[in-house]
Amino acid sequence: MLTIGELARATGVKVPTIRYYEKLGLIAEPTRSEGNQRRYAGPARERLSFIRHARDLGLSLDAIRELLHLSENPDMPCAEAHVIAGAHLAATRARIAQLQRLEAELARITSGCDTSTIGDCHVIHALADHGLCGGDH
């Protein structure tokens, strides 16, 4: 059995986050010691490690909740897990594309600015007038 501090160190998840996950029902309420300290068994560590890794990959708490539910039913087909991961992959690719457009526009704005005063600064003018942008971003 692990205390909440030991569980936090073992998984790299901060204590307040562990409490938050308990409140959301992502991890079960632990047993309590006579001194009312939380005591976690091995499955809690595995579940918390699963959650942390999923969060590191950027999955939402709702998606994680669904994946945890699926993981509790090992005989189910894994198609739904693929749907969840696929949707997250598509959203990630869309964000990457948006960031690439932002990068290109910022590079264009900054490369066109070779003045020494703010009054003539292309960066300031472009930020003040969206019409000076090279395209959607």
Contact at 8 Å (CB) between 46 and 26? no
* Coil/strand/helix, residue 40: strand
Burial of 17 from C-beta contacts in 10 A (0-12 / 13-18 / 19+): middle
> CATH code for 4-76?
1.10.1660.10
Quote the CA–CA distance of 72 and 70 in Å, as a whole number.
Answer: 5
Q: What is the value of pTM for the model shown? A: 0.80
The per-residue pLDDT for range 39-69, each reduced to its tens digit, is 999 899 999 999 999 999 999 999 999 999 9
